[in-house]
Amino acid sequence: MESENNLNNLKENIEKKQSIEENKEKEEIIAIKRVINYLRHCLEFATELEIAIPMTEKLLFSTTATDAIESCTLLGIASKFGIVGSAIAIRDALFQVFHRDQSVRNNIAVVYKDLYLNKNENQKSKRQKALTCMRSLIDLLKELQPGQSQALTQLILIWYNNNDIDNEMLQVLWETFQ
């Protein structure tokens, strides 16, 4: 009788362990399926975004200010994430500093500020921040297309008037180009 109870208890323990293992395997399979679905959706999103970049670039020069603002903002974000085609498109957006609408000019200044001046949020000293900004501006200067130097000059004037460029940054720029 006692051996029968032990045998039944042993069978129940084995069945419980098998059930627990089966549940763990099912949970692992479900987790793997979630990851696969997530990666599939990421790929679809990236593909659609690459298709959207050229269309967004066309909207940069829309006569409607909100179209120009939203497309410029989207291209700026896409450029931060390294989406294919966005770097060239955001470079073309530099001409927006000459737009007739003040809100479009302000938006391009903010987008470019995020891309080129705010790269160094984790640096400690003002000097380090200024050096990083200066390097970013030099990289931007190297990438300019013909005719964009006037737009960059206008953009720097907007930054200066908005106090986005401080004295330390001006000092580093002066030292570099002196």
Residue from 131, 107, 130, 100 nearest 90 by CA: 107
Band of the pLDDT at 69, cuts 50, 70, 90?
very high
Residues 6+ apart with CB under 8 A from 61: 68, 95
Span 88-92, average pLDDT: 88
pLDDT tens, position by position, 125-151: 778 888 888 888 888 888 888 889 899
CA-derived radius of gyration, the chain = 28
Dist CA 93 CA 29 (whole Å): 46
**pLDDT at residue 119 above 80?**
no
Answer yes or no: are the C-beta atoms of 85 and 96 closer than 8 Å: no
**pLDDT at residue 73 above 80?**
yes
Predicted TM-score (pTM) of this structure:
0.75
Q: Where are the domains of the chain?
A: 1-177
